[in-house]
Chains A and B, each alone.
Chain A
Amino acid sequence: MKKINLYMSIVLSALSVFVMVESKKMPAEIAGLGMGPGVLPFWLGAGILLLSIILAVESLLDKRSPKKVFNISEIKNMGIMFLALVLYAISVDLFGFGISTLLLVFFLVRRLGKYAWWKCGTIGVIVSSVSVYLFRVLLEMPLPTGIVGF
């Protein structure tokens, strides 16, 4: 945990400095307002900076042996999953909601559960048809149709 906390405080400090610099660029005062738009973000940045310095000091003083937090295979597995979701988000607009959902559910069920492909496919068809029927048809929600039209 020790190392991770240290890295985290570095990342957060960088973020807070960025926030503080950006908020200084905002107008400090606007006619008729008690407080300009940049005031609160500036102090938020300052607060995060202060806390991350405390975190860094804490973790440097921490005597416990560091615990490994991230391992490569975990990150790889998560990355594949996340990539699938990103592709899904893109494909929803491009190819339509129904077909993308079908593919996503197929992929997820297969990956999480390692079932036979036809089982995954059926679940995919059911989930996507039910959600399209429920939301697009019944509730008239404008879910994207894309080029496939489903």
Chain B
Amino acid sequence: MKKNIKLIAMLVLALFAATMASGCAGTKKEDASAKYPTKQVNMVIAFTAGGSSDVQARIVEKYWKKHFNDQPLVFDYKTGAGGQVGFTEIVKAKPDGYTVGGINVPHIAIQSLSNQATFKVDEFAYIAQVVADPNLLVVKADSPIKDLKGFIEEAKKKNGKLTVGIVGTFTAHHLALLQMEEILGIKVTPVPFTGAADQNVAVMGGHIDAMIGNLNDVMRDLAKFKLISLASEQRHQWVKDVPTFKEQGYNFISDIRRGFAAPKGIDPAVLNKLREGFNKIANDPAYLEDMKKIGQPEAYLNGDEFEKVTNSYLQTSKTLVDKYGLVKK
């Protein structure tokens, strides 16, 4: 009996060694760009699984195989530090085209301005923008504040004590709030939250007076909110009766963009393949249908345009950050 076990054990060991040896021999380099992709592509997501960025990327994954040689897209969550960890991961990855990732603007622009920055905006190779999610000024459904005029009056009456929720400080929302204060000529008390979900609850529960929120996050609890004004050029088709700041005479435009990028230094031919593939995905009617279902305002831009948008955000952020002395010394 004992001998048998020993024999089997040896056999297992031998078999194992054999498979390992054969496995190692199989890896050989091939012409990279022409056949790209020849293996799975890693998708770095800088926010938690199940978050808005992840959900959007999952929709992309649904159509990925069709346009990329039937190779899988493998998700790699590198979360933390408001996305900075994941963004840094993309920049530092090997630029062989097998690591791409989701990026958010203006997050990357603001983070690159910090003196604790771990990347620069020009270290990304931009593939495509897929979402432009406008900011809104929102109050509770039964709030005494009825419209933008009422909001401004209330803010002036409370003399700076009106509380407005934002997600984090030194973030897209924070800058939007500063911008709004300046344009509307008011002063309010910002109350930062760690995420859209808890911010939504604080407004619903009446713990804060108003908030700056994204359309995507506000859509989840539409019945509980009153949407005061939209910070975009035009009204949005999902909330047609919500006026923009612009049409009321305040030139306040603010949104969050989601897109995809690879590390800089990627083979231009591979980058082109990625850009083409994303272009095709973004124009697939089924994809557009899915995007509507998950409530994300679809807005495709190609890589070059996306890069330009990012750089313009970088300029705006720089002005605001300098003005309010937000860069940490």
Contacts and interface: CB of A to CB of B under 8 A. Distances in A.
Touch test A–B (CB under 8 Å): yes
Contacts of B170: 30
Interface in A95-150: 99, 118-119, 121-122, 125-126, 129, 140, 142, 148-150
A59 B6 CA distance: 56
A122 B12 contact: yes
Contact of B189 (A30, A32, A140, A149): A32
Interface string A1-28: 0000000000000000000000000010
A31 interface: yes
Interface in B1-49: 6, 9-10, 12-13, 16, 20, 23-24, 27, 42
Contacts, number: 46
A86 interface: no
Nearest to B13: A121
B82 interface: no
A118 B11 CA distance: 11
Interface residues of A, number: 18
B174 interface: yes
Contact of B169 (A33, A121, A122, A140): A33
B326 interface: yes
B13 A118 contact: yes
B328 interface: yes
A45 B10 CA distance: 57
B178 to A, nearest CB: 8
**What are the nearest 3 A-B pairs in CB distance?**
A32-B190, A122-B9, A118-B9
5 contacts: A27-B328, A30-B169, A32-B189, A142-B76, A149-B24
Interface of B: 6, 9-10, 12-13, 16, 20, 23-24, 27, 42, 72, 74, 76, 169-170, 174, 177, 189-190, 192, 324-326, 328-329
